[in-house]
């Protein structure tokens, strides 16, 4: 499991990537720290969800649903912990668990190396992530929140764009 290998199912030709030791932990921590620090200095950066982008990236790259969902859960719970007492533990946890699972599952079926595919997938996952958060808030926490607004669309596009470049950086952490 130390090297990249291929899954051959039917006509699919999907590559599974491994990463350098500690790369996932460092990338995750960096994403959380930047997410917590960046908006203080650049308010507009609050539109970014770097932990989500990292979750999606590792989910798409590892292509193992179990690993993806566990990583998503871990990142989500850490994000919950850092978001203050108004965000209950599990809000981001549940959403990122599901996104991690979906990303890993889709990553095993699609070629996700192309920037356009990464842009589209990240945008779609961002919308799905927000939808899951709204769903959790509405059903489990009885906190009414709007399902959709223009801010969501803009945020999805921005995150998709950032993801294209961030994925290129994270690609460098892969083992050859």
Residues of this chain that interact with other proteins (CB under 8 A) are: 29, 32-34, 36-38, 40-42, 64-66, 69-70, 73, 77-78, 81-82, 85, 88-91, 93-94, 97-98, 101, 104-105, 136, 140-141
CB atoms within 10 A of CB 146: 8
- Select 119 or 125, whichever has its Cβ closest to other proteins: 125
Could you tell me how many residues make up the chain?
A: 176
Compute φ and ψ for 18, nearest 5 degrees: -110, 160
Smallest distance, other proteins to C-beta of residue 71, A: 11
Smallest distance, other proteins to C-beta of residue 49, A: 16
Smallest distance, other proteins to C-beta of residue 53, A: 17
- Select 65 or 160, whichever has its Cβ closest to other proteins: 65
- Select 140 or 168, whichever has its Cβ closest to other proteins: 140
Smallest distance, other proteins to C-beta of residue 56, A: 16
- Select 7 or 120, whichever has its Cβ closest to other proteins: 7
Q: What is 98-114 written as a DSSP string?
A: HHHHHHHHHHTTS---S
CB atoms within 10 A of CB 77: 18
CB atoms within 10 A of CB 149: 11
Which tokens is 28 given? 């995750």
| Closest by Cα among 86, 94, 174 to 134 | 94
């Amino acid at each position: 499991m130390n090297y990249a290998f291929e899954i051959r199912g039917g006509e699919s030709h999907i590559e599974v990537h491994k990463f350098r030791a500690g790369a996932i932990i460092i990338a995750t921590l960096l994403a959380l720290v930047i997410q917590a620090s960046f908006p203080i200095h650049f308010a507009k950066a609050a539109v970014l969800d770097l932990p989500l982008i990292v979750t999606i990236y590792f989910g798409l790259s590892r292509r193992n649903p179990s690993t993806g969902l566990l990583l998503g859960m871990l990142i989500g719970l850490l994000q919950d912990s850092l978001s203050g007492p108004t965000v209950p533990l599990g809000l981001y946890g549940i959403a990122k668990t599901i996104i991690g699972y979906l990303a890993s599952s889709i990553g095993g079926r699609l070629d996700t190396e192309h920037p356009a595919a990464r842009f589209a997938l990240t945008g779609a996952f961002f919308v799905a992530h927000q939808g899951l958060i709204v769903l959790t808030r509405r059903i489990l926490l009885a906190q009414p929140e709007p399902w959709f607004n223009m801010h969501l669309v803009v945020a999805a596009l921005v995150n998709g764009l950032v993801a294209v470049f961030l994925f290129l950086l994270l690609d460098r952490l892969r083992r050859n």
